[in-house]
């Protein structure tokens, strides 16, 4: 989609630190990491957030998350997946994305 930051990163128009790609999913390092491992997992097809997500895309994102966690060496120690949605969810980029956070003991607090 025109003027979408993450669509531009997927298309290679804006640099991104890619960690994973398949036919449906693209993943890159968050520019402001909040953990030693902080990867954004996004569908290649533009959709604003989880409210627009279909089952195949959800499955592809979950499968990619597992692969990336193994690749990044956090599968055994554990990690967290978060998808912010809308204003109260503090979503700042309107292209569906899942944050994968790991590499440190995360707290129980999620807000």
Decide if 97 is catalytic.
yes
Task: Please give the C-alpha separations between residue 94 and each of 3, 5, 101, 108, in angstroms, as whole numbers.
Answer: 10, 9, 20, 27
Tell me the C-alpha distance between 94 and 25, whole Å: 16
Stretch that binds ligand AMP, among 51-59, 60-68, 69-77, 89-97 (CB under 6 A): 89-97
Q: How many residues bind ligand AMP (CB under 6 A)?
A: 12
Nearer to ligand AMP (CB atom), residue 65 or residue 76: 65
Strand, helix or coil at 19? strand
Q: Is 102 in the site for ligand AMP (CB under 6 A)?
A: no
Q: Is 16 in the site for ligand AMP (CB under 6 A)?
A: yes
Q: Which of residues 28-87 bind ligand AMP (CB under 6 A)?
A: 28, 30-32, 40, 84
- Which tokens sit at 62? 């979950």
Interacting residues toward ligand AMP by CB under 6 A:
5, 16, 28, 30-32, 40, 84, 90-93
| Active site amino acids | 97
């Amino acid at each position: 989609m025109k003027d979408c930051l993450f669509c531009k990163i997927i298309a290679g128009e804006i640099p991104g630190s890619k960690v994973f790609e398949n036919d449906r999913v693209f993943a890159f390092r968050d520019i402001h990491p909040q953990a030693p491992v902080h990867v954004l997992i996004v569908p290649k097809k533009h959709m604003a957030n989880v409210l627009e997500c279909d089952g195949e895309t959800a499955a592809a994102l979950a499968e990619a998350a597992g692969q990336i966690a193994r690749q990044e060496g956090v599968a055994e120690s554990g990690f967290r997946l978060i998808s912010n949605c809308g204003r109260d969810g503090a979503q700042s980029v309107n292209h569906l994305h899942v944050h994968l956070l790991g590499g440190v003991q995360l707290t129980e607090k999620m807000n």
